[in-house]
Amino acid sequence: MSELLDRFLSYTAIDTESVPDVEQFPSSEKQKNLLRLLANQLAETGVEVAMDDKYGYVYAKLPANNGNNGGYKLGFISHVDTSSAVSGKDVKAIVTRNYDGGDIALAEGRTLSPDEFPSLRAHLGKTIISSDGTTLLGADDKAGVAVIMQAVRYLMTHPEVKHGELRVAFTPDEEVGRGTDFFDVARFDANGAYTVDGGGLGELEYENFNAAGVKVTIKGKSVHPGSAKGAMINANLVLMELQQMLPVEQNPMYTEGYEGFFHLDSMQGTCDEAMAGYIIRDHDRNKFEAKKTLFATVCDFLNVKYGKGTVTAEIKDSYYNMKEMVLPHIHLVDNAKTAMQKAGVTPIVTPIRGGTDGARLSYEGLPCPNLFTGGYNFHGRYEYIPYEDMEKALEVVLNLVDIYKDR
Protein backbone atom coordinates (compact mmCIF):
# COMPACT_ATOMS: atom_id res chain seq x y z
CA MET A 1 0.00 0.00 0.00
CA SER A 2 2.77 2.41 0.85
CA GLU A 3 6.32 2.74 2.01
CA LEU A 4 5.12 3.75 5.48
CA LEU A 5 3.14 0.53 5.86
CA ASP A 6 5.99 -1.63 4.60
CA ARG A 7 8.39 0.14 6.93
CA PHE A 8 6.14 -0.37 9.94
CA LEU A 9 5.58 -4.06 9.20
CA SER A 10 9.31 -4.64 8.79
CA TYR A 11 9.98 -3.10 12.20
CA THR A 12 7.29 -5.15 13.94
CA ALA A 13 8.97 -8.32 12.66
CA ILE A 14 12.09 -7.55 14.73
CA ASP A 15 11.91 -8.78 18.33
CA THR A 16 12.78 -5.89 20.66
CA GLU A 17 11.10 -6.94 23.90
CA SER A 18 12.66 -5.27 26.93
CA VAL A 19 13.18 -7.03 30.26
CA PRO A 20 12.04 -5.52 33.58
CA ASP A 21 14.08 -5.55 36.78
CA VAL A 22 17.54 -6.16 35.36
CA GLU A 23 20.63 -4.02 35.85
CA GLN A 24 22.08 -4.16 32.34
CA PHE A 25 21.24 -1.44 29.83
CA PRO A 26 19.66 -1.88 27.48
CA SER A 27 17.82 -4.66 29.26
CA SER A 28 17.96 -6.87 26.15
CA GLU A 29 20.71 -6.75 23.55
CA LYS A 30 18.27 -7.62 20.77
CA GLN A 31 16.88 -4.08 20.91
CA LYS A 32 20.12 -2.98 19.29
CA ASN A 33 19.25 -5.00 16.18
CA LEU A 34 16.51 -2.55 15.29
CA LEU A 35 18.51 0.43 16.52
CA ARG A 36 21.40 -0.50 14.22
CA LEU A 37 19.00 -0.90 11.32
CA LEU A 38 17.56 2.55 11.99
CA ALA A 39 21.04 4.08 12.18
CA ASN A 40 21.92 2.50 8.83
CA GLN A 41 18.66 3.59 7.21
CA LEU A 42 19.16 7.13 8.48
CA ALA A 43 22.69 7.18 7.11
CA GLU A 44 21.37 6.06 3.73
CA THR A 45 19.16 9.15 3.58
CA GLY A 46 22.21 11.36 4.00
CA VAL A 47 21.55 12.76 7.47
CA GLU A 48 24.22 13.04 10.15
CA VAL A 49 23.69 10.03 12.41
CA ALA A 50 25.46 8.51 15.40
CA MET A 51 24.71 5.40 17.46
CA ASP A 52 25.82 4.99 21.05
CA ASP A 53 27.23 1.47 20.79
CA LYS A 54 27.16 0.92 24.55
CA TYR A 55 23.63 2.06 25.34
CA GLY A 56 22.00 1.80 21.93
CA TYR A 57 20.67 5.33 21.50
CA VAL A 58 20.49 6.62 17.93
CA TYR A 59 20.83 10.37 17.34
CA ALA A 60 20.40 12.15 14.01
CA LYS A 61 20.62 15.75 12.84
CA LEU A 62 19.05 17.38 9.81
CA PRO A 63 20.59 20.80 9.13
CA ALA A 64 18.26 23.59 8.11
CA ASN A 65 17.80 23.93 4.35
CA ASN A 66 16.11 27.32 4.54
CA GLY A 67 19.10 29.33 5.75
CA ASN A 68 17.77 29.48 9.31
CA ASN A 69 20.73 27.65 10.84
CA GLY A 70 20.53 29.53 14.13
CA GLY A 71 16.82 28.93 14.55
CA TYR A 72 14.74 26.68 16.75
CA LYS A 73 16.00 23.09 16.86
CA LEU A 74 12.99 20.76 16.89
CA GLY A 75 13.25 17.10 17.82
CA PHE A 76 11.22 13.91 17.47
CA ILE A 77 11.75 10.83 19.64
CA SER A 78 10.36 7.28 19.72
CA HIS A 79 11.32 4.08 21.50
CA VAL A 80 12.04 0.74 19.86
CA ASP A 81 11.35 -1.69 22.71
CA THR A 82 8.07 -3.51 23.25
CA SER A 83 6.38 -4.48 26.49
CA SER A 84 7.12 -7.79 28.16
CA ALA A 85 3.43 -8.16 29.07
CA VAL A 86 2.93 -10.26 25.93
CA SER A 87 5.62 -11.72 23.69
CA GLY A 88 6.96 -9.61 20.85
CA LYS A 89 8.79 -12.49 19.18
CA ASP A 90 7.75 -13.76 15.74
CA VAL A 91 5.09 -11.11 15.22
CA LYS A 92 2.84 -12.03 12.30
CA ALA A 93 0.87 -8.94 11.42
CA ILE A 94 -2.56 -9.20 9.81
CA VAL A 95 -3.58 -6.42 7.42
CA THR A 96 -7.36 -6.11 7.07
CA ARG A 97 -8.25 -3.71 4.27
CA ASN A 98 -11.54 -1.82 4.06
CA TYR A 99 -12.64 -2.92 7.53
CA ASP A 100 -16.35 -3.77 7.45
CA GLY A 101 -17.15 -3.47 11.16
CA GLY A 102 -17.18 -7.18 11.94
CA ASP A 103 -14.89 -9.53 13.83
CA ILE A 104 -11.32 -9.90 12.59
CA ALA A 105 -10.25 -13.54 12.76
CA LEU A 106 -6.93 -14.13 14.49
CA ALA A 107 -4.95 -17.30 15.12
CA GLU A 108 -5.88 -20.03 17.60
CA GLY A 109 -9.58 -19.21 17.47
CA ARG A 110 -9.20 -15.66 18.77
CA THR A 111 -11.01 -12.68 17.30
CA LEU A 112 -10.52 -8.94 17.40
CA SER A 113 -14.12 -7.95 17.93
CA PRO A 114 -15.87 -4.57 18.16
CA ASP A 115 -18.11 -6.12 20.81
CA GLU A 116 -15.08 -6.40 23.07
CA PHE A 117 -13.20 -3.39 21.68
CA PRO A 118 -15.80 -0.78 20.62
CA SER A 119 -13.09 1.60 19.39
CA LEU A 120 -12.97 -0.52 16.22
CA ARG A 121 -16.37 0.84 15.17
CA ALA A 122 -14.80 4.26 14.53
CA HIS A 123 -12.62 2.81 11.78
CA LEU A 124 -15.04 1.49 9.18
CA GLY A 125 -13.46 1.42 5.74
CA LYS A 126 -9.93 1.81 7.06
CA THR A 127 -7.03 -0.61 6.87
CA ILE A 128 -6.62 -2.28 10.27
CA ILE A 129 -3.21 -3.70 11.18
CA SER A 130 -3.22 -6.20 14.04
CA SER A 131 -1.13 -9.09 15.28
CA ASP A 132 -2.38 -12.63 14.72
CA GLY A 133 -3.31 -12.81 18.40
CA THR A 134 -0.35 -14.93 19.49
CA THR A 135 1.84 -11.87 20.20
CA LEU A 136 1.45 -8.16 20.61
CA LEU A 137 1.79 -6.05 17.46
CA GLY A 138 4.42 -3.57 18.60
CA ALA A 139 2.70 -0.40 17.39
CA ASP A 140 3.85 0.91 20.77
CA ASP A 141 6.11 2.34 19.63
CA LYS A 142 7.21 1.02 16.25
CA ALA A 143 4.42 3.07 14.71
CA GLY A 144 6.12 6.17 16.09
CA VAL A 145 9.48 4.93 14.85
CA ALA A 146 8.08 4.33 11.37
CA VAL A 147 6.40 7.75 11.27
CA ILE A 148 9.59 9.58 12.21
CA MET A 149 11.72 7.55 9.81
CA GLN A 150 9.27 8.17 6.97
CA ALA A 151 9.26 11.89 7.75
CA VAL A 152 13.06 11.99 7.56
CA ARG A 153 13.07 10.11 4.27
CA TYR A 154 10.44 12.44 2.82
CA LEU A 155 12.36 15.56 3.80
CA MET A 156 15.67 14.22 2.51
CA THR A 157 14.18 13.19 -0.85
CA HIS A 158 12.22 16.44 -1.25
CA PRO A 159 14.77 19.24 -0.81
CA GLU A 160 12.19 21.69 -2.13
CA VAL A 161 10.37 21.25 1.21
CA LYS A 162 12.04 23.81 3.45
CA HIS A 163 12.71 23.13 7.12
CA GLY A 164 14.73 24.41 10.04
CA GLU A 165 17.16 22.44 12.17
CA LEU A 166 15.73 19.06 13.11
CA ARG A 167 16.78 16.35 15.54
CA VAL A 168 15.72 12.70 15.73
CA ALA A 169 16.40 10.07 18.39
CA PHE A 170 15.42 6.47 19.05
CA THR A 171 15.69 4.95 22.50
CA PRO A 172 15.64 1.51 24.14
CA ASP A 173 13.98 0.41 27.39
CA GLU A 174 11.10 2.90 27.58
CA GLU A 175 8.71 0.13 28.54
CA VAL A 176 10.73 -0.71 31.66
CA GLY A 177 10.92 2.94 32.72
CA ARG A 178 14.58 3.44 31.87
CA GLY A 179 14.43 4.87 28.37
CA THR A 180 16.26 8.08 29.25
CA ASP A 181 18.70 6.74 31.86
CA PHE A 182 21.67 7.43 29.60
CA PHE A 183 20.09 9.73 27.02
CA ASP A 184 22.49 12.56 26.20
CA VAL A 185 20.35 15.70 26.05
CA ALA A 186 23.35 17.86 25.13
CA ARG A 187 24.26 15.53 22.27
CA PHE A 188 20.66 15.54 21.03
CA ASP A 189 20.93 19.35 20.97
CA ALA A 190 17.29 20.38 20.60
CA ASN A 191 15.33 23.31 22.03
CA GLY A 192 12.15 21.29 22.29
CA ALA A 193 10.86 17.94 21.08
CA TYR A 194 7.91 15.61 20.74
CA THR A 195 7.71 11.95 21.57
CA VAL A 196 5.60 10.15 18.98
CA ASP A 197 4.33 7.53 21.40
CA GLY A 198 0.64 8.22 21.95
CA GLY A 199 -2.53 6.32 21.22
CA GLY A 200 -5.62 7.08 19.18
CA LEU A 201 -6.05 9.69 16.46
CA GLY A 202 -5.69 13.23 17.80
CA GLU A 203 -4.25 12.43 21.21
CA LEU A 204 -1.99 15.19 22.50
CA GLU A 205 -0.50 14.84 25.95
CA TYR A 206 1.63 17.07 28.11
CA GLU A 207 0.53 15.88 31.55
CA ASN A 208 1.52 12.53 33.01
CA PHE A 209 1.53 10.77 36.34
CA ASN A 210 3.92 11.45 39.15
CA ALA A 211 5.22 7.95 39.74
CA ALA A 212 6.89 5.91 42.45
CA GLY A 213 7.73 2.26 42.90
CA VAL A 214 7.67 0.40 46.21
CA LYS A 215 9.53 -2.77 47.16
CA VAL A 216 7.94 -4.34 50.22
CA THR A 217 9.59 -7.05 52.32
CA ILE A 218 7.76 -8.70 55.20
CA LYS A 219 9.58 -10.85 57.73
CA GLY A 220 7.30 -13.41 59.29
CA LYS A 221 7.88 -16.01 61.97
CA SER A 222 7.43 -19.56 60.76
CA VAL A 223 6.31 -22.05 63.38
CA HIS A 224 4.89 -25.53 62.89
CA PRO A 225 1.15 -25.02 62.37
CA GLY A 226 0.42 -27.59 65.05
CA SER A 227 2.05 -25.46 67.72
CA ALA A 228 1.72 -22.00 66.18
CA LYS A 229 -0.72 -20.40 68.61
CA GLY A 230 0.66 -17.16 69.95
CA ALA A 231 3.94 -17.58 68.09
CA MET A 232 3.45 -17.63 64.32
CA ILE A 233 3.49 -14.46 62.23
CA ASN A 234 2.42 -15.39 58.71
CA ALA A 235 4.14 -12.99 56.33
CA ASN A 236 1.57 -13.71 53.62
CA LEU A 237 -1.27 -12.62 55.89
CA VAL A 238 0.58 -9.46 56.91
CA LEU A 239 0.92 -8.61 53.21
CA MET A 240 -2.80 -9.21 52.74
CA GLU A 241 -3.48 -6.92 55.68
CA LEU A 242 -1.28 -4.20 54.19
CA GLN A 243 -3.21 -4.38 50.92
CA GLN A 244 -6.55 -4.23 52.71
CA MET A 245 -5.51 -1.07 54.56
CA LEU A 246 -5.01 0.84 51.31
CA PRO A 247 -8.07 2.71 49.94
CA VAL A 248 -9.99 0.23 47.81
CA GLU A 249 -11.39 2.97 45.58
CA GLN A 250 -7.82 3.90 44.66
CA ASN A 251 -7.21 0.58 42.95
CA PRO A 252 -6.42 1.06 39.22
CA MET A 253 -9.53 -0.84 38.15
CA TYR A 254 -11.69 1.85 39.75
CA THR A 255 -9.85 4.96 38.53
CA GLU A 256 -9.74 7.08 35.38
CA GLY A 257 -8.78 10.53 34.14
CA TYR A 258 -6.89 12.42 36.82
CA GLU A 259 -7.53 9.84 39.54
CA GLY A 260 -4.41 8.26 41.02
CA PHE A 261 -3.95 4.79 42.47
CA PHE A 262 -2.01 2.19 44.44
CA HIS A 263 -1.31 -0.91 42.35
CA LEU A 264 -0.13 -4.27 43.72
CA ASP A 265 1.96 -5.27 40.73
CA SER A 266 3.64 -8.45 41.98
CA MET A 267 3.91 -10.63 45.06
CA GLN A 268 5.44 -13.85 46.26
CA GLY A 269 5.87 -15.35 49.66
CA THR A 270 5.93 -18.01 52.30
CA CYS A 271 4.90 -17.94 55.91
CA ASP A 272 8.44 -16.86 56.78
CA GLU A 273 8.88 -14.08 54.22
CA ALA A 274 6.76 -12.26 51.67
CA MET A 275 7.70 -9.69 49.06
CA ALA A 276 5.59 -7.40 46.93
CA GLY A 277 6.03 -4.71 44.31
CA TYR A 278 3.70 -1.72 44.25
CA ILE A 279 3.44 1.32 42.04
CA ILE A 280 1.95 4.62 43.22
CA ARG A 281 0.58 7.15 40.73
CA ASP A 282 -1.10 10.57 40.79
CA HIS A 283 -1.10 13.59 38.48
CA ASP A 284 -1.35 16.01 41.41
CA ARG A 285 2.00 16.36 43.19
CA ASN A 286 0.43 16.99 46.60
CA LYS A 287 -1.83 13.95 46.30
CA PHE A 288 1.15 11.91 45.11
CA GLU A 289 3.15 12.85 48.19
CA ALA A 290 0.12 12.09 50.38
CA LYS A 291 -0.18 8.62 48.84
CA LYS A 292 3.46 7.85 49.63
CA THR A 293 2.98 9.10 53.19
CA LEU A 294 -0.12 6.92 53.62
CA PHE A 295 1.76 3.85 52.39
CA ALA A 296 4.59 4.50 54.85
CA THR A 297 2.08 5.07 57.66
CA VAL A 298 0.39 1.72 56.98
CA CYS A 299 3.79 0.01 57.19
CA ASP A 300 4.56 1.81 60.45
CA PHE A 301 1.25 0.64 61.91
CA LEU A 302 1.97 -2.98 60.98
CA ASN A 303 5.41 -2.72 62.58
CA VAL A 304 3.79 -1.54 65.81
CA LYS A 305 1.31 -4.39 65.63
CA TYR A 306 3.71 -7.21 64.72
CA GLY A 307 7.07 -5.89 65.90
CA LYS A 308 9.74 -3.53 64.63
CA GLY A 309 11.29 -4.64 61.35
CA THR A 310 8.40 -6.84 60.29
CA VAL A 311 7.61 -4.63 57.30
CA THR A 312 10.14 -2.65 55.29
CA ALA A 313 9.14 -0.56 52.30
CA GLU A 314 11.60 1.04 49.90
CA ILE A 315 9.73 3.86 48.14
CA LYS A 316 11.54 5.30 45.14
CA ASP A 317 10.29 8.04 42.83
CA SER A 318 10.36 7.10 39.14
CA TYR A 319 9.33 10.27 37.30
CA TYR A 320 7.22 13.40 37.70
CA ASN A 321 4.43 15.18 35.86
CA MET A 322 6.02 17.06 32.98
CA LYS A 323 3.26 19.69 32.91
CA GLU A 324 5.17 22.22 35.00
CA MET A 325 8.18 21.85 32.69
CA VAL A 326 6.13 22.17 29.49
CA LEU A 327 3.97 25.15 30.48
CA PRO A 328 6.83 27.67 29.98
CA HIS A 329 7.06 26.27 26.43
CA ILE A 330 3.33 26.03 25.77
CA HIS A 331 3.95 26.87 22.10
CA LEU A 332 4.82 23.17 21.71
CA VAL A 333 1.27 22.27 22.70
CA ASP A 334 -0.38 25.10 20.77
CA ASN A 335 1.57 24.33 17.61
CA ALA A 336 0.78 20.63 17.90
CA LYS A 337 -2.91 21.54 17.98
CA THR A 338 -2.44 23.70 14.89
CA ALA A 339 -0.53 20.92 13.10
CA MET A 340 -3.35 18.48 13.81
CA GLN A 341 -6.05 20.89 12.66
CA LYS A 342 -4.16 21.46 9.40
CA ALA A 343 -4.24 17.69 8.91
CA GLY A 344 -7.99 17.59 9.53
CA VAL A 345 -7.51 16.00 12.95
CA THR A 346 -9.33 17.19 16.07
CA PRO A 347 -6.84 17.54 18.96
CA ILE A 348 -7.79 15.54 22.05
CA VAL A 349 -5.81 16.79 25.04
CA THR A 350 -5.79 14.15 27.76
CA PRO A 351 -3.60 13.35 30.76
CA ILE A 352 -1.30 10.39 30.26
CA ARG A 353 -2.19 7.64 32.70
CA GLY A 354 1.41 6.51 32.60
CA GLY A 355 4.69 8.05 31.57
CA THR A 356 6.82 8.58 28.49
CA ASP A 357 10.46 9.26 27.78
CA GLY A 358 9.36 12.86 27.39
CA ALA A 359 8.35 13.13 31.03
CA ARG A 360 11.88 12.64 32.28
CA LEU A 361 13.44 14.56 29.40
CA SER A 362 11.27 17.56 30.26
CA TYR A 363 12.91 17.64 33.69
CA GLU A 364 16.32 17.50 32.04
CA GLY A 365 15.70 20.68 30.10
CA LEU A 366 14.06 19.25 26.98
CA PRO A 367 10.32 20.04 27.02
CA CYS A 368 8.66 17.13 25.28
CA PRO A 369 4.88 16.67 24.79
CA ASN A 370 3.55 13.43 23.32
CA LEU A 371 1.84 12.99 19.93
CA PHE A 372 -0.53 10.24 18.81
CA THR A 373 0.50 7.31 16.63
CA GLY A 374 -3.02 5.99 16.03
CA GLY A 375 -2.66 2.73 17.95
CA TYR A 376 -5.00 0.97 20.38
CA ASN A 377 -4.85 -1.83 22.97
CA PHE A 378 -1.12 -1.48 23.58
CA HIS A 379 0.77 -4.20 25.50
CA GLY A 380 -1.61 -6.95 24.50
CA ARG A 381 -2.39 -9.53 21.85
CA TYR A 382 -5.37 -7.46 20.64
CA GLU A 383 -3.26 -4.41 19.81
CA TYR A 384 -4.14 -2.77 16.50
CA ILE A 385 -3.61 0.40 14.51
CA PRO A 386 -5.58 1.89 11.60
CA TYR A 387 -3.07 2.60 8.84
CA GLU A 388 -4.82 5.82 7.82
CA ASP A 389 -4.39 7.19 11.36
CA MET A 390 -0.68 6.43 11.24
CA GLU A 391 -0.59 8.39 7.97
CA LYS A 392 -2.20 11.30 9.81
CA ALA A 393 0.52 11.10 12.46
CA LEU A 394 3.08 11.47 9.67
CA GLU A 395 1.19 14.45 8.27
CA VAL A 396 1.15 16.10 11.71
CA VAL A 397 4.91 15.62 12.12
CA LEU A 398 5.53 17.22 8.73
CA ASN A 399 3.16 20.07 9.59
CA LEU A 400 5.15 20.72 12.77
CA VAL A 401 8.35 20.79 10.75
CA ASP A 402 6.76 23.47 8.57
CA ILE A 403 5.43 25.48 11.53
CA TYR A 404 8.85 25.64 13.20
CA LYS A 405 10.96 26.23 10.10
CA ASP A 406 11.22 30.01 10.57
CA ARG A 407 11.04 30.21 14.36
Average pLDDT over residues 312-334: 96
Regarding whether 330 and 254 lie in a shared domain, the answer is no
pLDDT, tens digit, 9 for 90 and up, residues 335-385: 999 999 999 999 999 999 887 889 999 999 999 999 999 999 999 999 999
Q: How confident is the model at residue 122 (pLDDT cuts 50, 70, 90)?
A: very high
Regarding whether 192 and 74 lie in a shared domain, the answer is yes
Q: How many domains does the chain have?
A: 2
Give the span between the Cα atoms of 11 and 34, in whole angstroms: 7
Regarding whether 173 and 34 lie in a shared domain, the answer is yes
Average pLDDT over residues 133-138: 98
Regarding whether 305 and 381 lie in a shared domain, the answer is no
Give pLDDT, residue 356: 81
Give pLDDT, residue 211: 94
Give pLDDT, residue 263: 98
Q: How confident is the model at residue 267 (pLDDT cuts 50, 70, 90)?
A: very high
Regarding whether 129 and 111 lie in a shared domain, the answer is yes
Regarding whether 226 and 360 lie in a shared domain, the answer is no
For the chain, the residue count is 407
Give pLDDT, residue 18: 98
Give pLDDT, residue 70: 85
Average pLDDT over residues 161-169: 98
Q: Does position 1 have pLDDT exceeding 80, yes or no? A: no
- Residue 218: CB atoms within 10 A of its CB come to 27
Give the span between the Cα atoms of 157 and 362, in whole angstroms: 32
Regarding whether 202 and 147 lie in a shared domain, the answer is yes
Average pLDDT over residues 53-60: 98
pLDDT, tens digit, 9 for 90 and up, residues 233-248: 999 999 999 999 999 9
Q: Strands, E, within 114-177: which ranges?
A: 128-130, 166-171
Residues annotated as catalytic are 81, 174
Percent of all residues in the chain with a pLDDT value above 90, rounded to a whole number: 95
Give pLDDT, residue 331: 98
Domain that holds residue 296: 211-319
pLDDT, tens digit, 9 for 90 and up, residues 204-239: 999 999 999 999 999 999 999 999 999 999 999 999
Q: Give the single-character DSSP code of 343.
A: T
Q: Is the pTM of this model over 0.85?
A: yes
If you write DSSP's letter for every residue of 323-334 in order, what string do you get? Answer: HHHHGGGTHHHH
Percent of all residues in the chain with a pLDDT value above 70, rounded to a whole number: 100
pLDDT, tens digit, 9 for 90 and up, residues 182-204: 999 999 999 999 999 999 999 99
Mean pLDDT of all residues belonging to the chain: 97
- Class of residue 315 by CB neighbours under 10 A (exposed 0-12, middle 13-18, buried 19+): middle
Cα angle, residue 344 at apex, residues 341 and 345 outer, rounded to 5°: 70
Domain termination site, one of 319, 346, 368: 319
Average pLDDT over residues 73-78: 98
CB 82 within 8 A of CB 16: yes
Give the span between the Cα atoms of 36 and 292, in whole angstroms: 41
Q: Does position 167 have pLDDT exceeding 80, yes or no? A: yes
With b meaning 16 or more CB within 10 Å and e meaning fewer, what string describes 236-247? bbbbebbbeebe
Regarding whether 141 and 14 lie in a shared domain, the answer is yes
CATH of the domain at 336: 3.40.630.10
End-to-end CA distance of the chain: 35
Q: Strands, E, within 70-145: which ranges?
A: 74-79, 94-96, 104-105, 111-112, 128-130
Domain termination site, one of 272, 295, 319: 319
Which of 367, 383, 364 shows the shortest CA–CA distance to 375?
383
Regarding whether 292 and 162 lie in a shared domain, the answer is no
Regarding whether 124 and 68 lie in a shared domain, the answer is yes
With b meaning 16 or more CB within 10 Å and e meaning fewer, what string describes 177-199? bbbbebbeeeebebbbbbbbbbb
Give the span between the Cα atoms of 2 and 337, in whole angstroms: 26
CB-based contacts of 304, cutoff 8 Å, min separation 6: none
Domain termination site, one of 275, 293, 319: 319
Give pLDDT, residue 274: 98
Give pLDDT, residue 226: 94
- Alpha helix stretches (DSSP H) within 308-356: 323-326, 331-342
Give pLDDT, residue 111: 98
Give pLDDT, residue 354: 82
Regarding whether 144 and 224 lie in a shared domain, the answer is no
CB 337 within 8 A of CB 300: no
Sheet holding 384-386, edge to edge: 94-96, 128-130, 384-386
Give pLDDT, residue 355: 78
Regarding whether 128 and 38 lie in a shared domain, the answer is yes
Q: Give the single-character DSSP code of 155.
A: H
H or E stretch at 370: strand 370-371
